[in-house]
C-alpha cells in the first residue's frame, strides 16, 4: 500500500474522533463538502491547484484542531501540486521611512508631510479630484 493512501483516512479518523461533522467544516471553511469528502478518500484529482490547494488543506486542519503547518507540509509531500512547484517566495521587504525636512517647510509646531503614490494613468482624474477635495476641506478648516 502506498503511503499517500493513509493521509485522508487519518484526517477523517481524527475528525470523527473529535465529533466534528463534514457539514460544519464545509460551512465554516466555505469549502464544498464534496471536496472535503474527496480529501478524506485521498482523491485530490478535482482539487484546485496552487495557493487554493494549500489554503483548503490548512483550513480543514485548523477546523479539526490539527497543526495546520504540519498537515499542509505532509499534504504537499504526498500530493504534489500538478501545476508545478510554487514560485519562490520573495523575502519580505520592510518599508523604510525617510524624512526630508526643508527649513522653509517647518512653521512653528507644524511639519508639512508629502505623500507620493504611484497609480495607473487611468486614476489621474480620480487623484486630481481627490486632491481638489482635500484642498477644499483644508481651506474650510482654516477659515
Residue 58 belongs to a domain with what CATH number? 1.10.260.40
The whole-number pLDDT of residue 135 equals: 77
In a domain, 85, yes or no: no
The total number of structural domains in the chain stands at 2
In a domain, 119, yes or no: yes
In a domain, 44, yes or no: yes
pTM exceeding the 0.85 threshold for the entire prediction: no
Question: pLDDT tens, 81-133?
Answer: 877 655 555 565 555 555 554 544 555 666 566 666 565 666 667 667 777 87
Range of the domain at 43: 3-78
Does residue 45 carry a pLDDT above 80? yes
In a domain, 96, yes or no: no
| Mean pLDDT score across all residues of the chain | 77
Comparing CA positions, the residue from 33, 35, 76 lying closest to residue 54 is 76
In a domain, 70, yes or no: yes
In this structure, the answer to whether residues 59 and 117 fall within a common structural domain is no
Amino acid at each position: 500500500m502506498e503511503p499517500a493512501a493513509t493521509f485522508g483516512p487519518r484526517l477523517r479518523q481524527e475528525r470523527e474522533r473529535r465529533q466534528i461533522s463534514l457539514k460544519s467544516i464545509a460551512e465554516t471553511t466555505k469549502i464544498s463538502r464534496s471536496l472535503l469528502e474527496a480529501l478524506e478518500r485521498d482523491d485530490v484529482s478535482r482539487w484546485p491547484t496552487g495557493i487554493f490547494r494549500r489554503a483548503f488543506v490548512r483550513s480543514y486542519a485548523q477546523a479539526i484542531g490539527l497543526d495546520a503547518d504540519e498537515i499542509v507540509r505532509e499534504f504537499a509531500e504526498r500530493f504534489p501540486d500538478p501545476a508545478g512547484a510554487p514560485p519562490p517566495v520573495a523575502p519580505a521587504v520592510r518599508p523604510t521611512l525617510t524624512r526630508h525636512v526643508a527649513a522653509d517647510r517647518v512653521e512653528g509646531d507644524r511639519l508639512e508631510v508629502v505623500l507620493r503614490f504611484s497609480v495607473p494613468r487611468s486614476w489621474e482624474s480620480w487623484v486630481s479630484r481627490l486632491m481638489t477635495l482635500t484642498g477644499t476641506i483644508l481651506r474650510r478648516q482654516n477659515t
